[in-house]
Each structure stands twice: as C-alpha cells, then as structure tokens.
Amino acid sequence: MKKLLAVVAAVAAFSAQADTLTVAATPVPHAEILEFVKPALAKEGVDLKVKVFTDYIQPNVQVAEKRLDANFFQHQPYLDEFNKAKGTKLVSVAGVHLEPLGAYSSKYKKLDELPSTATVVIPNDATNGGRALLLLDKAGVIKLKDNTNILSTVKDIAENSKNLKFRELEAATIPRVLTQVDLALINTNYALEAKLNPESDALVIEGADSPYVNILVTREDNKDAEAVKKLVAALHTPEVKKFIEEKYKGAVKPAF
C-alpha cells in the first residue's frame, strides 16, 4: 500500500512540475520522430504533446498565434518565404533531418521515357515548387534561366524540349494524383505516407548536398524556453539518429 501511495505521489508530483510542450507535425516522419523522443523528454520533466497536421500552413499560423509552442515539418527556405509573405517572425532552433524530394511515375521507369507534352505535377508553394524545378533542371529534363534560384517558377523555364505541361497542386495532395499524371514531384514525408519507397521508386531524387534540412521551429519569444531546449537536445541524440536510419532506411537522413 505504501508503495502504491508513493507511485501515486510521484505521478502527481510529475504532473504538477512537468512543462507541457505542444508541437505541430506532419505525420511521417516528423510526428513519428517526436513520439520516439517522448519518453526521454518525460524523464526531463517535459510532457510532449504532438498535434498532427497534413498541411504546410496551419502549423506556422498556430505557432505564430501562440496556440502551439513549436512545429516540426518544414525546411529553412520554406520558413523564410512564409515569414516574408505572412509577416511572421518564426525562427529555427534545430536542424533534424533531410527528406530528399523525388520525382515519381506510375507509367514510366526512366525520365527519358517521358513523352512529348507529358503532364508533370509540382508543389504549389514557392519553395518546394522551385525545389522541384531545380531537381528537374539538374536531371536535364528542363533548363531554368537561373538554376541557383530556389524560388524559380514555371515562368522561369528557359528550355522545355518535350513541351512538358506543368500543374501545381498542394504538396499533400500530389500522391493522390500520381496514377493520373506522367510525373509527380513529391516530398518524402508524403511519399512515405503513400507507401512509396524514395530509394527505389523515385526516378530521380535529391542528393546529400540538398539545403532543405527539416527544422524545429518556434517563436522568437519561445526559442530559449527550457522545454524547447530539452526537445532540441532530445532530437540530437545517437538514439534518434539510429531510429531514423533504421526506420526509414535512407529515405530520411539525419542532419546532425
């Protein structure tokens, strides 16, 4: 009985002392990585709550509005563009992993098999759309006016020898139309959700030199909070690196 009372007291004490940290994340791999570090954070007195989103807008909006403490779903170029467009001042506090963007097709095995006027779908947000076009430029499918411009759009295509037809859709919806188009540029988190294997299914994929490391983001007034610092430390452990390498088998790469 005394032991039971001691356990109850300990739980009550933890609940009273624990800092609650609510973090927005897309399902794969972000939410899975956060769930993995929950037990370690609990030992540090942080009650991590993961709120799953399937879009790229609300996680930033809700952190900026102080409805959430942080988010984990985006890379720095996307955050920079979001801050510029929305007037927010969100900041990165840690780089965690890289999700290489890939080009997928349910009809063709190689990029050079794409027929004339083939339909190509790319993300409709500025940074991932530009990222997709840069990948196609590097692969020789098109030529851009400036292949260092990460915000390139279809209007910046200088050469399109096959007269490819480009469509722009919200990144999360692109896997759903894969069988309806000739080529789809898909972010790895959405590719994994759609049961695609980036390592074997992508016709071309970003290399390790990609600048699009996924980051933990919060507000300036929250970046030095003790709970945030503990989350950063928990995400940068050898255990997390091993988890990422073993679970995603190269489709997601540690960036620390």
Domains observed in the chain: 19-99+212-254 (3.40.190.10), 102-205 (3.40.190.10)
Of 172, 190, 179, 180, whose CA–CA distance to 100 is shortest?
190
pLDDT at 207: 83
pLDDT tens, position by position, for the chain (256 residues)?
555 555 445 444 444 467 999 999 999 999 999 999 999 999 999 999 999 999 999 999 999 999 999 999 999 999 999 999 999 999 999 999 998 999 999 999 999 999 999 999 999 998 899 999 999 999 999 999 999 999 999 999 999 999 999 999 999 999 999 999 999 999 998 999 999 999 899 999 998 778 899 999 999 999 999 999 999 999 999 999 999 999 998 889 999 9
Pair of tokens at residue 174: 């692109």
pTM for the complete prediction? 0.79
For residues 204-227, one letter each, b for 16 or more C-beta atoms within 10 angstroms of the residue's C-beta and e for the rest, the string is: bbbeeebebbbbbbbbeebbebeb
How would you class 199 by CB atoms within 10 Å of its CB: exposed for 0-12, middle for 13-18, buried for 19 or more? middle
pLDDT at 211: 80
Upper half-sphere CA count for residue 117 (Cβ side, 13 Å): 0
CB atoms within 10 A of CB 130: 21
- Give the H/E segment covering residue 97: strand 90-98
